[in-house]
Amino acid sequence: MIALTRLRLLGFVRTGRAVAPLIAAAAALSILYGGGQARADEAYGVSALVLFPLLAWQTKILLDVEPDVQRRLAVTAVGSRRRELAAGLLAAVAAGLATVALAMAAPWLAGALQPDDRPAGTAIGLVAHLLALPGAVALGALASRAVTGSAGNGAAVLVTGSVLAIVLGLKASPLQWLVPPLMAATRLTTSGHYPAAAVVTVVGQAVLWSAAACWGYARLRRNRV
């Protein structure tokens, strides 16, 4: 499974498909941090929200690199469809962590962080990005060609999921439990206050939503290789 994970990462990089999401992330971060200094936790919280659809798109691209026939051969090679699924998700997480590393370095390079809270704010920002990553990977997997069957359907799932994550995540929405807690996490980081109950709720929702979405991805892939 590790060999298959490495193979998919190499395919993602060597075919040049890793360039587009990387450039998009760099452009978004440049715009985000071009307006002056901000508190570290606030800046990183907004960054995690902005990067969510880009991380999901990156995941979709990575999972779509393989031709369908090669994906079927991969199932045979590793001897289990679960291992093949896990290898794809692990590769997507590894690629996502590289983008998160770029997001964590960007405000330091741009001098966009206020000096008084950089260490603590950076730690909080890292947590915010790591909470957004699993949900983005799950959404990207649900939008992949192996599930949707076509590029058009995949794009529709990707865009719809990203929009709903923001719209349904609004504080006044009664349906905010149906989406990853992007908006809730951003509200915490912009407020600068972290009540224990709110933090536990956000973390729990992120874990449960990501687990449910990955389970759905595995179920949808049961009848499709």
Residue that the structure tokens 């915490």 belong to: 188
Whether pLDDT at 77 is above 80: no
CA dihedral 83, 98, 49, 123 (to 10 degrees): 110
- In eight-state DSSP terms, residue 58 is H
Predicted confidence at residue 74, as pLDDT, reads 64
* 186 contacts 49 by C-beta, under 8 angstroms: yes
* Among the ranges given (53-57, 81-85, 175-179, 198-202), the one the predictor scored with the smallest mean pLDDT: 81-85
Using alpha carbons only, give the angle 218, 221, 223 rounded to the nearest 5 degrees.
130
Whether pLDDT at 117 is above 90: no
**Other Cβ atoms closer than 10 A to 175:** 11
* Among the ranges given (62-71, 74-83, 168-177), the one the predictor scored with the smallest mean pLDDT: 74-83
Structure token pair of residue 121: 């704010």
The amino acid sitting at 108 is W
User: 37: helix, coil or strand?
Assistant: coil
Predicted confidence at residue 202, as pLDDT, reads 93
Confidence grade of residue 105 (pLDDT, cut at 50, 70, 90): very high
Convert the pLDDT of each residue in 134-190 to its tens digit.
999 999 999 998 899 888 899 999 999 999 999 988 877 788 888 999 999 999 998
Distance between CA atoms of residues 158 and 100, nearest Å: 19
Whether pLDDT at 207 is above 70: yes
Confidence grade of residue 112 (pLDDT, cut at 50, 70, 90): confident
Q: How far is CA 159 from CA 155, 209, 218, in A?
A: 6, 18, 21
**Other Cβ atoms closer than 10 A to 160:** 12
The pTM of this model reads 0.92
The residues facing 113 across adjacent strands are: 38
Whether pLDDT at 28 is above 60: yes
Q: Which residues contact 177 (CB under 8 A, 6 or more apart)?
A: 205
Q: Extract long-range pairs of 1-4: CB within 8 Å, 24+ residues apart.
A: 1/78, 1/83, 1/86, 1/87, 1/90, 2/87, 4/74, 4/77, 4/78, 4/83, 4/84, 4/87
Whether pLDDT at 11 is above 90: no
